[in-house]
Every structure is written in structure tokens, then in C-alpha cells.
Amino acid sequence: MLLKRTIGLMSAVTVAATLAACGGSNSSSTATDTGGNGTYGNCKITSKADSIKLTPAVADTLTVETTLPAPGWWNGTTPESIKDGYEYCMAAQLANMAGLSKLVIKNVSFDQLVAGHTNNFDLALAEISITPERAKVVDFSTPYFDSNIGVLIQKGADVTEDNITSKSCAAYAGTTSVDFLKNELHCASTKTYPDSQTLYQGLLSGQVDADFLDTAIVLAEAKQTGDKLEVVGQYKTGEKYGAIYPKGSANEDELNKGIQTMIDDGTLDTLSSDYLGPAFGGDPSSVPVWTIK
């Protein structure tokens, strides 16, 4: 992803590992049979069977790469243990659309994945930000998730969309939130901390009025502090997650059709509410979107 944070980030370690998209280099896989009744793990399948046509890498199988751990997105620490999660159930819906009876999950190195060094798969779902550099070696799907900057404040503090520019704001070094505050939002004062822990402590101690970081990450931090903090808004950054396809895949158009269908019919909103909300302490898609005034 376009890192808004460094790899060594966060008190919410598990969620941070997820969003930094850094996983182990070992590869393993498991297959989930439909059992003949259109079920994949614990996912509630709502898509129309046989509505897209694929030529899968392995017959009668949708092969999906990811990077674990990724709680909320993939609930489980190994491919064998995963039965649900936002991206897992997204893949399950696609498998059903394609009329495929098996869903195979491969755990791969994130660096190898985005460099196009993996093979024999149909798509990768690993919270991957779409970038021009990556698009040179892999093909990206229709975007399916917005990666926004969240506004974290002390619970009940007087910080709103209308008065935020009169407040003291903070980000931490090396994140795109620093540039956002410097070049776009223009708060009354801006402070940069060396890491996420000092960023959060600065807010809790009253040194600043608001922290800025990925929406899902600050939701997790609010939960971590026992609701001493809350996320009151988010700003759209234009960064989006997309699935990766092997370069030149013949399945791109059909898989994009399936993803767009899930966007249009609300399936992805439901998956966010069902899986990301509980994992992050709140559904990122339900956080109000603020505009710069």
C-alpha cells in the first residue's frame, strides 16, 4: 500500500499489521468445497451463481492470494483456519458468481505479490493500494475500498467539521497525513510526532486537539483506549484498494464485473459492517466524510 505509516507503527498491533499489509514469506493454501449447496466457510452467499465466466488457473477453483495475518479482512492466522472476513467473503461471492465449487487461499509475501513475482492464481486481495508503479507489473481491479484519513479526538471534545481548522492537529513523521495537514487542511497549528504511540499520547494528554491517520487504524486505537478517544470524521484521500490480477489476465473484465456488482448492490457495504466494524471497533464506511472548509 501507499504507506500512511511506517512498518513499526501502532499500539493496535494486530490491526496495524493488517493495514500495513506486511505478512510472512511462507506460502500455503487450502481449499474450501461448496458441499454442493453454494456455501463457502461462514459467508452468507447472496450473489447470483454463474453470472460471470472465468477460465481459472485451476479447474473448478478460484485461487486467491493474500498476506496474513489480516483480521477483519481474513479471520484466521493461516489459510486453513480462515472461514470468513471482508476479503474472504468477497472472494467467496466471486467464486459463486463464477460457478466454481472450490476456493483456494494462498498466503504469500506482500512484496512478492505487488512486484508480480507470484503465479498460478486468479486474483489477490490484500488491502493493496492502487499505484502507478505497481500497475507497471500487475493489473488492478475496479477499486473496492477507500483508504481515507480519519480524525481522532478525545471523547466529547468540541472538534467538528466546521471548526477543525481552528484546532491544533497532529500526524506522525513519514505518513501522508503530514502532507495532508501541511498542504491541504491548514489547522491553526500542526505538530508532527516521531511515532504513533507519541501521537496518541499527545492527544490523550491534551497537547493537541486531533490526530490524523488511516480511518481503520484510528478506529482501532479508539477501541484500544476504552473509548477515551473517538473518530468523528474522515477525509477522502483518493487512495483506494484494488485486487491484483496477473498481468494480462483474461479474467479481468469478468472479475471486474463481479466486483462492480457487489459495489452496486451493497454487498461490500454489508461485508464492511459485518467484519471490519467488529475488528476495528467501528465500521470505516459509517464514519462521516468531512470536506475542507
Confidence of residue 142 (pLDDT cuts 50, 70, 90): very high
pLDDT, residue 54, reads 98
- What order of strands is seen across the sheet that includes strand 145-154? 189-193, 168-172, 210-214, 145-154, 229-241
Asked whether residue 243 carries a pLDDT value surpassing 70, the answer given is yes
Q: How confident is residue 9, by pLDDT bands cut at 50, 70 and 90? A: very low
User: Which pLDDT band holds residue 32 (cuts at 50, 70, 90)?
Assistant: low
Is the per-residue pLDDT at 141 higher than 80? yes
Q: What percent of the chain has pLDDT over 70?
A: 87
| Mean pLDDT along residues 151-167 | 98
pLDDT digits (tens, 9 = 90+) for 245-283: 999 999 999 999 999 999 999 999 999 999 998 888 888
With a cut of 90, say whether residue 158 has pLDDT above it: yes
Domains of the chain from N-terminus onward: 13-145+240-283 (3.40.190.10), 147-238 (3.40.190.10)
Three cell numbers, residue 114? 505487488
12 has a pLDDT exceeding 50: no
Phi, psi of 140 (to 5 degrees): -105, 150
Dump pLDDT digits (tens) for 171-193: 998 777 888 999 999 999 999 99
Q: Which of 3-7, 74-78, 92-96, 198-202 has the lowest mean pLDDT?
A: 3-7
CA dihedral 24, 140, 16, 73 (to 10 degrees): -90
Radius of gyration of the chain, Cα coordinates, nearest whole angstrom: 19
CA pair distance 121, 94, nearest whole angstrom: 14
pTM: 0.75
Asked whether residue 39 carries a pLDDT value surpassing 50, the answer given is: yes
Across-strand partners of 192? 171
Q: Give me the pLDDT at residue 103, please.
A: 95
Residue with cell 447470483: 48
Q: Please, which pLDDT band fits residue 214 given cuts at 50, 70 and 90?
A: confident
Indicate if the pLDDT at residue 37 is higher than 80.
Answer: no
Residue pair 73/87 in contact (Cβ under 8 Å)? The answer is: yes
pLDDT value of position 227: 82
pLDDT band at 35 (very low <50, low <70, confident <90, very high): very low
| pLDDT the model gives residue 24 | 34
What percent of the chain is predicted at pLDDT more than 90? 66
Q: How confident is the model at residue 11 (pLDDT cuts 50, 70, 90)?
A: very low
Distances in Å between the Cα of 208 and the Cα atoms of 154, 160, 161, 199, 227 are 10, 14, 16, 9, 18
The larger pLDDT score, comparing residue 4 to residue 207, is at 207
How high is the pLDDT of residue 283? Answer: 86
Rounded mean pLDDT, 11-26: 36
